[in-house]
């Protein structure tokens, strides 16, 4: 996206670059700008919480809290932050660049992997998404490799606007600017990747957490129809990818935009010392002020909320993705690999949380629900107690620290705590994964990780196997199946004697990789998330979220926009 005056481009859909540079090469010795960053304070509270050997809650480690806060403060002061952040990186293996044709095929075009970072729509950037991913090194282990051009995937990573800049709007026609940023980048890849040796017909999106949630929105974009506002890169508006790997697609539904708007306007009023009562007035604030507003609003977010993210409503997200998948409103030509991890919900549950604590959080997390519906969730869907242990990785001193990105298991935990983890895991990721698998059962391959892997996609699945600790070497098979899928859309093009990974199908088949049996064939089971609770979310829960979430906010935003003169107030809609 070319630089534009803030009054034109701010909070708007991105605009395709429309010029040619006679001297496009430059010395790329550094990294491009990154989006403005923000972090909620509650992340440090979870990151520094501890639990004793008997499952009891212990006092937070004050030193760790200070260290955590210092780390985030440093990230927010990164001088690379700017609104003009819409850049992408293309990493081309040497053999692809030199166009070495594969024997017997004559083709030099390589598959393409576009990686989405796992950060939750408020922080992160493309350098984090691409750092350490080495598809070329992994290709060395592939049984089909000829060490020629089309064997080695091209890697692409993208920036998109975050927080206030990507998910706040004063115009109902420009909501979800962050998703539009992603879409424009994908369409750019379709238009230009062949110039780098890439095959536009073999583009695979890969993401975990919020990255996978972004991909879920692209699977259901425009309700399965063509882009009604196509860019010059893709005039037909067709889906700009053919495959996707979604690992723990975590999305906490539509943010409470009434609350977000209230907090944003209040913070703007405090900083500018004048009343801000309508979002359109934010358009003309300088970038530094908007970045400060963004940081403060996110920092003070209620527990488990980030304040910003995709909103249900508008062209891009006409309904909740779960509803769109249920109703067949998505691109049916896609192939998917979908994964979820045991205890996915652990980072969204306060340490050793009791039932009373979780009950108090639900109205905030699931805003827009009536008390009657919340009672159904508490007393009917999640009334039973989960018994058992999380993975035991406690220290010799009998206590475990829970860092934010790599939460170890617990030796003992209360049944209420385990139940809360299950509930949040299903709401955040598990039922999303089920919706994807049910939508495309014959072209979706699902696995259930045996250990908790939140935030560690790169470390476990995508890096060079030679650099791994011995305990992780068995996971080479998973990574090779990913690579097979990227090449062919089927995760089974391996050695001749390799057992076939079946699709999800009508029997809801899931592969459960285990460290103990990776060389003994595949362990298959029925999907744990193919249950009545996820069925309720698909049948009724998502409908309630749409009615009480972004839909109502957009109605109010549209009313205010029209009442106050729309484009004259905010600077006009981009064309």
In this predicted structure, what is the pLDDT of residue 508?
95
Report which secondary-structure segment, H or E, holds 531: none
d(CA 26, CA 67): 38
Which two three-digit tokens encode residue 535?
């069925």
Strand order in the sheet with 110-116: 88-91, 154-158, 110-116, 198-209, 243-249, 335-341, 444-449, 509-511, 524-526
Q: How many CB atoms lie within 10 A of CB 183?
A: 29
**How large is the average pLDDT for residues 206-235?**
94
Q: What is the DSSP string of 10-56?
A: TTSPP-------SS------S---B------THHHHHHT-EE-TTS-
In a domain, 241, yes or no: yes
**How large is the average pLDDT for residues 164-183?**
90
d(CA 501, CA 424): 28
**How large is the average pLDDT for residues 524-545?**
86
For 192, residues 6+ apart whose C-beta sits below 8 A from its C-beta are 233
In a domain, 319, yes or no: yes
In a domain, 174, yes or no: yes
In a domain, 575, yes or no: no
Q: Give per-residue pLDDT as tens, 247-295.
A: 999 876 666 788 888 899 999 999 999 988 888 888 889 999 999 999 9
Backbone angles phi, psi at 245, to 5 degrees: -115, 115
Strand order in the sheet with 57-58: 57-58, 50-51, 400-401
Which two three-digit tokens encode residue 256?
């409470």
Q: How many CB atoms lie within 10 A of CB 171?
A: 24
**How large is the average pLDDT for residues 53-75?**
67
For residue 44, pLDDT beyond 90: no
Q: Return the closest-CA partner of residue 119 out of 336, 298, 257, 264.
A: 298
For 540, residues 6+ apart whose C-beta sits below 8 A from its C-beta are none
- Angle at which helix 431-439 crosses helix 210-219, to 10 degrees, equals 30
Report which secondary-structure segment, H or E, holds 136: helix 135-139
In this predicted structure, what is the pLDDT of residue 95?
83
For 397, residues 6+ apart whose C-beta sits below 8 A from its C-beta are none
Q: Give per-residue pLDDT as tens, 334-354.
A: 999 999 876 788 777 777 677
For residue 243, pLDDT beyond 50: yes
CATH of the domain at 334: 3.40.50.1820
Q: Give per-residue pLDDT as tens, 437-477.
A: 999 999 999 998 755 444 444 444 444 444 444 445 556 77
Q: Return the closest-CA partner of residue 541 out of 554, 532, 528.
A: 532
d(CA 529, CA 198): 37
For residue 177, pLDDT beyond 90: yes
Q: Give per-residue pLDDT as tens, 126-149.
A: 887 665 457 777 787 777 766 677
Residue 9, Ramachandran bin (φ over 0: left; ψ between -120 and 50: alpha; else beta) = alpha
What is the average pLDDT score of the chain?
A: 79
In a domain, 228, yes or no: yes
- Which residue would you say has higher pLDDT here, 456 or 502? 502
Cβ atoms of residues 140 and 187 within 8 Å: no
In this predicted structure, what is the pLDDT of residue 35?
94
Q: Give per-residue pLDDT as tens, 302-318.
A: 888 889 999 888 899 99
- Which residue would you say has higher pLDDT here, 129 or 171? 171
Q: How many CB atoms lie within 10 A of CB 164?
A: 26
In a domain, 390, yes or no: no
Q: Return the closest-CA partner of residue 89 out of 33, 147, 137, 148.
A: 33
For the chain, what is the largest distance between any 2 Cα atoms, rounded to a whole number of angstroms? 71
The pLDDT confidence band at residue 56, using thresholds 50, 70 and 90, is low
d(CA 37, CA 122): 6
The number of distinct structural domains making up the chain is: 1
Total residues found in the chain within this entry: 575
**How large is the average pLDDT for residues 500-516?**
85
In a domain, 433, yes or no: yes
For residue 407, pLDDT beyond 80: no
In a domain, 373, yes or no: no
Measuring CA to CA, how many Å separate 121 from each of 308, 314, 389, 431?
Answer: 7, 19, 32, 20
Alpha-helix residue ranges (DSSP H) falling in 426-549? 431-439, 457, 476-488, 532-536, 542-548
Cβ atoms of residues 55 and 387 within 8 Å: no
**How large is the average pLDDT for residues 116-134?**
78
Q: What single-letter DSSP state applies at residue 418?
A: H
Q: What single-letter DSSP state applies at residue 381?
A: I
Measuring CA to CA, how many Å separate 34 from each of 38, 284, 374?
Answer: 12, 21, 39
- Which residue would you say has higher pLDDT here, 382 or 572? 382
Q: Name the least confident of 1-10, 273-282, 363-372, 523-532.
A: 1-10
- Domain region containing 498: 33-43+53-352+422-570
């Amino acid at each position: 996206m070319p630089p534009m005056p803030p009054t034109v481009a701010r909070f708007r859909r991105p605009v395709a670059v429309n010029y040619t540079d006679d001297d496009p090469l430059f010395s790329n010795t550094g990294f491009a700008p990154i989006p403005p960053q923000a972090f909620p304070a509650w992340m440090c509270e979870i990151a520094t919480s501890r639990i004793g050997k008997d499952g009891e809650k212990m006092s937070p480690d004050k030193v760790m809290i200070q260290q955590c806060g210092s780390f985030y403060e440093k990230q927010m002061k990164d001088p690379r932050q700017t609104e003009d952040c819409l850049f992408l990186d293309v990493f081309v293996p040497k053999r692809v660049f030199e166009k070495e044709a594969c024997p017997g095929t004559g083709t030099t075009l390589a598959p393409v992997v576009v990686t989405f970072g796992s950060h939750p729509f408020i922080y992160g950037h493309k350098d984090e998404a691409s750092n350490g991913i080495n598809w070329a090194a992994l290709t060395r282990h592939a049984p089909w490799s000829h060490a020629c051009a089309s064997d080695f995937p091209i890697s692409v990573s993208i920036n998109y606007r975050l927080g206030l800049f990507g998910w706040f709007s004063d115009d109902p026609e420009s909501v979800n600017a962050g998703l539009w940023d992603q879409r424009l980048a994908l369409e750019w890849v379709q238009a230009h990747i062949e110039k780098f040796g890439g095959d536009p017909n073999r583009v695979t999106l890969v993401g975990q957490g919020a990255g996978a949630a972004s991909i879920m929105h692209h699977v259901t974009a425009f309700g399965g129809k063509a882009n009604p506002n196509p860019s010059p890169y893709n005039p037909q508006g067709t889906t700009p990818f053919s495959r996707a790997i979604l690992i723990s697609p975590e999305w906490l539904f539509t943010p409470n935009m009434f609350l977000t708007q209230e907090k944003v306007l209040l913070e703007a009023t405090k900083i500018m010392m004048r009343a801000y009562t309508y979002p359109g007035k934010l358009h003309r604030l300088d970038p530094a002020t908007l970045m400060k507003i963004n940081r403060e609003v996110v920092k003070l977010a209620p527990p488990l909320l980030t304040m910003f993210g995709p909103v249900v409503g508008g062209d891009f997200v006409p309904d909740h993705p779960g509803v769109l998948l249920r109703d067949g409103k998505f691109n049916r030509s896609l192939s998917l690999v979908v994964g979820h991890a045991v205890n996915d919900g652990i980072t969204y549950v306060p340490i050793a949380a009791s039932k009373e604590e979780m009950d108090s959080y639900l109205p905030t997390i699931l805003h827009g629900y009536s008390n009657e519906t919340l009672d159904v969730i508490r007393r009917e869907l999640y009334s039973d107690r989960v018994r058992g242990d999380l993975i035991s990785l406690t220290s010799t001193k009998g206590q475990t620290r829970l860092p934010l990105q790599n939460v170890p298991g617990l030796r003992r935990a209360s049944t209420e705590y385990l139940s809360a983890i299950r509930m949040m895991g299903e709401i955040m990721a598990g039922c999303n994964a089920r919706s994807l698998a049910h939508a495309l059962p014959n072209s979706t391959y699902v696995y259930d990780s045996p250990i908790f892997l939140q935030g560690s996609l790169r470390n476990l699945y995508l890096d060079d196997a030679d650099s791994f600790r011995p305990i992780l070497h068995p996971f080479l098979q998973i990574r090779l199946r990913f690579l097979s899928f990227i090449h062919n859309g089927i995760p089974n093009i391996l050695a001749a004697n390799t057992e076939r990974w079946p699709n999800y199908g009508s029997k809801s088949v899931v592969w459960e990789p285990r460290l103990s049996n990776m060389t003994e064939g595949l362990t298959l089971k029925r999907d744990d998330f193919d249950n009545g609770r996820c069925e309720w979310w698909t049948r009724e829960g998502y409908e309630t979220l749409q009615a009480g979430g972004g839909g109502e906010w957009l109605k109010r935003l549209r009313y205010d926009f029209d009442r106050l003169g729309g484009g004259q107030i905010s600077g006009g809609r981009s064309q």
